[in-house]
Amino acid sequence: MGLDAHATSCTFAVLSERGRRLDSAVVETNGRALVEFLRGVPGSKHLCLEEGTQSARLYEVLQGHVRELVVTHASEPMPMSMPNS
């Protein structure tokens, strides 16, 4: 699962183990709303978010509600390659 955090809203992207997008949602940036969304996602949850002004607080709020929480630091954009279909 990925989380794009902003001051007033966060966007979740829920992916399958194979990387297929299963769901996405825009949720208000408050602990209760974020935890409520996570509780509604079935299965083991692994969450990744980018380091930023919200990341420390989000880590504290969400770490007990996911199996793994990773905060990344993207120093420069990485090119993405798409597999041939």
Give the global pTM. 0.81
Q: How far apart are CA 57 and CA 69, in angstroms?
A: 13
pLDDT number for residue 84: 52
pLDDT number for residue 74: 74
- Three-state DSSP class for residue 23: strand
Query: Which pair of structure tokens corresponds to residue 28?
Result: 């208000």
pLDDT number for residue 29: 95
Q: How far apart are CA 51 and CA 57, in angstroms?
A: 11
pLDDT number for residue 73: 85
pLDDT by residue, tens only, the chain of 85 residues: 999 999 999 999 999 989 999 999 999 999 999 999 999 999 999 999 999 999 999 999 999 999 999 999 876 665 655 555 4
pLDDT number for residue 85: 44
| Assigned fold of 2-72 | Nucleotidyltransferase; domain 5 (3.30.420)
Count Cα atoms within 13 angstroms, Cβ side, for 8. Answer: 0
